[in-house]
A and B are shown apart, each in its own frame.
Chain A
Amino acid sequence: IAGITQAPTSQILAAGRRMTLRCTQDMRHNAMYWYRQDLGLGLRLIHYSNTAGTTGKGEVPDGYSVSRANTDDFPLTLASAVPSQTSVYFCASTPGGVNTEAFFGQGTRLTVV
């Protein structure tokens, strides 16, 4: 595998349930990101990690948490899903530092009902 892999590709989730979206990269990139994409709103940053062991909040972090135990993995957790979290979620990575070109996973389409 070369690049970023997300799982699952799609999911229907009952409101109130907990869900973890998985993201793995094999490019040894330092920085990783989670974006959500909603019609008419473009992509908005949820959380990011500049390097393993560190994380930070983006524009729309409420209701989401992340961890970065190692370089390759950056899971996104919805502790108690709500319908407004219905979206397409993209994981991305960059080499870090001054190289900011982002590479994206294939996305996870999440529907909360």
Chain B
Amino acid sequence: ELKVEQNPLFLSMQEGKNYTIYCNYSTTSDRLYWYRQDPGKSLESLFVLLSNGAVKQEGRLMASLDTKARLSTLHITAAVHDLSATYFCAVVRALNSGYALNFGKGTSLLVTP
């Protein structure tokens, strides 16, 4: 069974600070996704990581994937209030003739002045 673990689950950080969210998964997978969810809203795709060593950056967020360690990180640089949201990582798992995403429990991020 594929398990996806994120930590921390809750994060309160000051504006301007840096921090990293971790996503570990239990079985082999070569693709991983990061999503953002604002309160009461749907999930929005942030990053698609398709191979070992993949690194993607968008603004103050950078995501990386190490398939050998089964680890992805989402690094926040100089946080701003607009980044307050819940962040999910999701790993692909095989189904009968198809695929689905297994999600971590999410990291709820609050950026304070």
Contacts and interface: CB of A to CB of B under 8 A. Distances in A.
A96 B100 CA distance: 10
Interface stretch (A19-27, A60-68, A72-80, A104-112): A104-112
Interface residues of B, number: 23
B59 interface: no
B12 interface: no
Given A42-B88, A42-B105, A104 B98 contact: no
A45 B88 CA distance: 15
A90 B42 contact: yes
Contacts of B74: none
A35 B90 CA distance: 13
A59 B48 CA distance: 24
A56 B43 CA distance: 23
Given A100-B31, A100-B92, A42 B103 contact: yes
A50 B97 CA distance: 7
B25 interface: no
Interface string B82-104: 00000010101001111111111
Given A43-B88, A50-B95, A100 B101 contact: yes
Given A90-B42, A103-B45, A48 B33 contact: no
Nearest to A45: B100
Given A48-B95, A54-B97, 20 more contacts: A31-B99, A33-B101, A41-B105, A42-B103, A42-B106, A43-B43, A44-B103, A50-B98, A56-B98, A58-B100, A90-B42, A90-B43, A100-B92, A100-B99, A101-B48, A102-B43, A102-B90, A102-B101, A107-B41, A107-B42
The 7 closest A-B pairs by CB, nearest first: A50-B98, A42-B105, A43-B103, A104-B43, A42-B103, A104-B42, A100-B99
Interface of A: 31, 33, 35, 40-45, 48, 50, 54, 56, 58, 90, 94, 96, 100-107
